[in-house]
Structure 1
Amino acid sequence: MGSFAGWVLPIVYTSVAEEVLSVRRKAGLFDISHMGELLLQGPDVQERLDRLLPSNIAVLPTGRGRYSMLLNEDGGIMDDLFVYRIEPSRFLLVVNASTTQKDARWFSEKLVRAETTIADESERWGGLALQGPEARNILRKILPELPEAFERRAIVAASWKGTSFWVARTGYTGEDGAELFFPVSLGVGLWDTLLQAGASSGLRPCGLAARDILRLEACLPLNGHELSEERTPLEARMGWVVDWEKSASFPGKEALAEKRRRAPDLSLVAFAAERPAPPPRAGYPLLAGETVVGKVTSGGFSPTLEAAIGMGYVNVALATEGTRLTYPVRGTRYPVTLHLSPLYRSKNR
């Protein structure tokens, strides 16, 4: 167990390698109750969100979700989040644990004099993530009413023991699966029931250390590492989050447009070690010869790829497939090669 953002969280149950490979080959169950849940509702909620988020919320249909970000006026990333339209005038936003209170305050300040209201439901809601090629089959054992055509990023209402909750076909591992958001009273029962239902399919409980390696293999950015207020979606190679054509203005729109015109100096890259090497850690320099050309933002050992891997920012001129760099550990330099992301792509997605 370990502490994070005021929570005591499961870090590892057996071993990181066993848990990572279980998710890749069968299924894993994660407790994600530390994530924040914000409910926004009101007659003008669509219009307000369209003015606050860089993504086009107006075209998001009921029952679907979209990945988006909160940006400051300079275009820097304050947080990344999933926004779900659960009813025509009601949205569920799932945000990071370390920024939940900050995000709630930000929305409250922006919604002064609006008809939209915001409620921080994080203390009332728990979360589980069921991930892996067997995840959907396991989930349907306890929720047979789930629709057959359960599309990616869809969110549907479900009921278990007479209590309603939400099931979204989303995740943070690079595998197919679902995330469940429910009243905390259901948490222990859902956890135990899912593990029992998935026992014959190889389901195992997984900790957040495995979740971090899984998202790193899939090159999914982490707030506070790849994403920060000092970086914009352009440096993070996530300009697709921004709807450049929508008429509504949003925080950071002008700054992003200017940066887009002159192109960023840095770019986020993924890399893998060329031979056995100690895992790179956040903050390690990336070097081309004797010159520091970037910095590691996340790193670790990949059981799936059987190599040390990482992500980091480098000078944009070097951010191309096949570029060879090094990182130092205790006086020894270890060579890495830059790769197109993701480093791992599931065959089941």
Structure 2
Amino acid sequence: MKDPDDVRAAFAALPARVTLEQVAEATGRTLKSVQTNWASAEDFPPGDRGPARRQRHDRDTDRGLRRDRDAVLAWYLRQPLAGPARPGGNRAADRARALPAPDVEMSTGQIAETLGLTPAAVASYYVGVYGPDSRAPFPPADPRGLRRWPAVRDWFLRENPDPIRPTPLPEDTDAAQLAEQLGIRRTTALAILRHHTGTRLRRPALARAVGLGTEQVKNYIRNHGPDSTDPFPPADEDRAHDVEQVLDWLARHGRKHPERVVTDLAALPELITNDQIQTAAAISAGTLRAWTKLPGFPPLHRQGTSRLRDRDALITWYQNQHEQTDTDTGGDTEQGDDSTQA
């Protein structure tokens, strides 16, 4: 049985009107249980084609009905089977309590990985439901879309605060150390360090921050000079480049940073089209075809005339591919524009 907060997060990612299949998946129940025990209850929210109470011989047809998502969630939370939320929060809170509080900033996807959630759950539920006007607003993001990790940690522990206070991150902290502290991928830690170290970096640090090898950066600078149609962002008098400008430039050239890809994928619906994948990942149709041939790539699901893929499965696959590529190559793999690598 799912924790109530997990159920709320799952419902937040669903459309406004839901089927029994979606209700079953969101609550961790079997479809048969939902169909037999819930849909026949007098106070269960009605479907589009009639009253909520159904005769047994009508229940098979009930599967296709759509109900108001918020009404179904409210009904579920009133039931004894939902159970009360545990003191101090849910599994995300337990995870937050077990982690230190280095004073770093994180994107939605990085928060999700740190707490063992999906990016969609963070974006749709915690950010969406606990807005500025709620009684317990989720920590606000800065103009870059980043939130301070100590503030996020404190928010999850708000019902049972932890005395641990934010700790400054030592200047010599490397990605491996931060990854071990927070239980995250090294590539994720690299991206967090990029937020922390500033927006202008010299070439070796720049390469690490944007997920490239130093030789790749040299090649981009050499091949896309000041006279090209889209020059590589220039260095200043200290030979430092603006990280955000470089990330934008790389995205235009088919090399979107994995952190941004995950964030953009997480903002999409639960089931997504190939066109949506191409846009979020900044890849061509040919690159996507190459991805589909790699082991573990999420299969297509037919929904009427549409052919869709599971968003969360794709995010997990993409993160695994990127982590494996980074580990195998040390980030120095030569890679052209619109690469077929994840």
- TM-score, structure 1 normalization: 0.28
TM-score (norm 2): 0.28
Q: Which has the higher helix share?
A: 2
Larger Rg: 2
